């Protein structure tokens, strides 16, 4: 058996540790997962109703075109349904784009640290990924990224706000960048945390689609909508690009339950609004704790915070794990002494802030 060379030795995605494993390992009854940026408030109650109603429809294949969801999304965003790419999570849309545009002869450009799936999928296509370090404030260095563009560049990834640091790019910066990108190169604006963003300076990328047909916007139901377990994400782009990638999409890449849930979730804007508000209040409590301890917390427009603690990320991860909190070590995310914390519910964050001082005190003593 000879696997293709680009996947030999390629590490598989390392997910956040499952709650049940941690309970067993450390003999804990209560474990809080603050690692994968999921919505701690779950999903709109309308979602469970819709899933129950769809529960008897499992014997037939889903609508491969996703007609209803497409219509709902097209209406919500005032675009044509032909501009939508439905994916099994936006991860799958990233995969479609890589399969459709990248080859061994091309290259792709991303920021680092940023979301790992861009490079992974590019690597599988045999493509060179050019990684451009973020600036000291955590923002994409779009000028430096632009500088790397050549004839062979096919996709530039802009993760906005950026995972893992939560930092967003403002509209002026993004707009002048877009104007400077040559036509042969796609610009992907990954907006997985769009629903959490509150900064007025954040770009309204959908309004730019008419002017920039090479722009692809990624959104997902996995974060604020609370449907990570059902795998629905989508791209919004020009009809040309949506049509171009359609042949690589598996015929039934979303399922009946996911379609029903996403449709119901879209109808409950009040739920999203309330999650956004609670997230902000809770995030600022966590931020305050770390800033009071003199640690640098990246400005975040998302439901997670990246903190520079000065302590090796894996060490901190382990210490909190033993207390029943699953965080994300910065070590695998490009921040060796950082820790990424997904904002929990008020109860979860309170519990976290109760144990956090002693964890930090003992680790700082140990390091002295
Ligand atoms: C979570 C996340 C995604 C993937 O979400 P899906 O669950 O696949 O829709 C994409 N991009 C970023 C930056 C993310 O953080």
Percentage above 90 pLDDT, the chain: 94
270 has a pLDDT exceeding 80: yes
Rounded to an integer, what distance in angstroms lies between the CA atom of residue 306 and that of residue 340? 4
Rounded to an integer, what distance in angstroms lies between the CA atom of residue 305 and that of residue 328? 10
Give long-range contacts, CB 8 A cutoff, 24+ apart: 127-131.
Answer: 127/98, 127/102, 127/103, 127/154
The residue-averaged pLDDT of 26-51 equals 96
| Distance from Cα 7 to the centre of ligand 1, integer Å | 22
Q: Could you tell me which of 100, 134, 84, 140 has the C-alpha nearest to residue 254?
A: 84
Give tens-digit pLDDT for 212-252: 999 999 999 999 999 999 999 999 999 999 999 999 999 99
Give tens-digit pLDDT for 292-335: 999 999 999 999 999 999 999 999 999 999 999 999 999 999 99
Using CA atoms, how far residue 54 sits from 3, 45, 48, 63, 163, in Å, is 40, 15, 10, 13, 33
Residue ID of nearest Cα to ligand 1 atom 5: 90
Residue ID of nearest Cα to ligand 1 atom 14: 192
The residue-averaged pLDDT of 179-206 equals 98
15 has a pLDDT exceeding 80: no
- At 314 the three-state DSSP class reads helix
Per-position DSSP letters for 81-141, written without gaps between them: GGGEEEESSHHHHHHHHHHHH--TT-EEEEEESS-THHHHHHHHTTPEEEEEEPPTTS---
pLDDT reported for residue 16: 66
Peptide bond before 295: cis, by omega within 30 degrees of 0? no
How much is the mean pLDDT over the chain? 96
pLDDT reported for residue 151: 98
Give tens-digit pLDDT for 66-99: 999 999 999 999 999 999 999 999 999 999 999 9
pLDDT band, residue 350 (cuts 50/70/90): very high
| Distance from Cα 293 to the centre of ligand 1, integer Å | 31
pLDDT reported for residue 339: 98
Give tens-digit pLDDT for 144-191: 999 999 999 999 999 999 999 999 999 999 999 999 999 999 999 999
| Distance from Cα 86 to the centre of ligand 1, integer Å | 14
Residues 6+ apart with CB under 8 A from 10: 120, 123, 124
CA atoms within 13 A on the CB side of 248: 17
pLDDT reported for residue 13: 80
The residue-averaged pLDDT of 259-265 equals 98
Output the ligand 1 site: residues, CB below 6 A.
Answer: 37, 89-91, 115, 159, 163, 190, 192, 220, 222-223, 228, 233
pLDDT band, residue 12 (cuts 50/70/90): confident
pLDDT reported for residue 142: 98
| Distance from Cα 350 to the centre of ligand 1, integer Å | 27
Q: Which atom of ligand 1 is nearest to the CA of 36?
A: 1
Give tens-digit pLDDT for 94-105: 999 999 999 999
253 has a pLDDT exceeding 70: yes
Answer with the residue of higher pLDDT: 348 or 1: 348
Residues 6+ apart with CB under 8 A from 50: 260, 261, 263, 264
Q: Which atom of ligand 1 is nearest to the CA of 233?
A: 9
| Distance from Cα 363 to the centre of ligand 1, integer Å | 32
């Amino acid at each position: 058996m000879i696997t293709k060379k680009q996947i030999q030795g390629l590490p598989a995605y390392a997910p956040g540790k499952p709650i049940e494993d941690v309970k067993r390992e450390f003999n804990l009854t209560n474990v809080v997962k603050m690692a994968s940026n999921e919505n701690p408030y779950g999903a709109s109650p309308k979602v469970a109703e819709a899933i129950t109603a769809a529960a008897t429809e499992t014997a037939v294949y889903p609508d491969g075109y996703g007609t209803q969801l497409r219509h709902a999304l097209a209406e919500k965003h005032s675009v044509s349904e032909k501009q939508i790419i439905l994916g099994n999570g936006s991860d799958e849309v990233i995969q479609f784009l890589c399969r459709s545009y990248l080859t061994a002869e091309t290259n792709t450009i991303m920021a680092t640290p940023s979301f790992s799936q861009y490079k992974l999928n590019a690597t599988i296509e045999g493509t060179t990924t050019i990684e451009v370090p973020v600036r000291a404030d955590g923002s994409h260095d779009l000028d430096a990224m632009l500088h790397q563009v050549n004839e062979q560049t096919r996709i530039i990834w802009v993760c906005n706000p950026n995972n893992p640091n939560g930092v967003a790019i403002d509209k002026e910066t993004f707009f002048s960048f877009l104007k400077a990108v040559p036509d042969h190169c796609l610009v992907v604006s990954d907006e997985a945390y769009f629903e959490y963003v509150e900064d007025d300076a954040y770009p309204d990328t959908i309004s730019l689609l008419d002017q920039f047909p090479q722009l692809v916007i990624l959104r997902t139901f996995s974060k604020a909508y609370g449907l990570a377990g059902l795998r629905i994400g989508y791209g919004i782009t020009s009809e040309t690009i949506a049509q171009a990638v359609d042949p690589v999409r598996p015929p039934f890449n979303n399922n009946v339950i996911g379609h029903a849930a996403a449709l119901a979730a879209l109808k409950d804007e009040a739920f999203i609004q309330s999650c956004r508000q609670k997230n902000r209040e809770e995030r600022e409590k966590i931020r305050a704790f770390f800033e009071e301890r003199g640690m640098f917390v990246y400005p975040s427009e998302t439901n997670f915070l990246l903190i520079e603690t000065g302590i090796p990320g894996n060490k901190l991860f382990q210490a909190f794990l033993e207390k029943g909190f699953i965080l994300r070590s910065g070590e695998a995310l490009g921040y060796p002494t950082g820790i990424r914390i997904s904002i929990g519910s008020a109860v979860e964050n309170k519990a976290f802030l109760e144990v956090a001082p002693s964890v930090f005190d003992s680790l700082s003593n140990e390091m002295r």
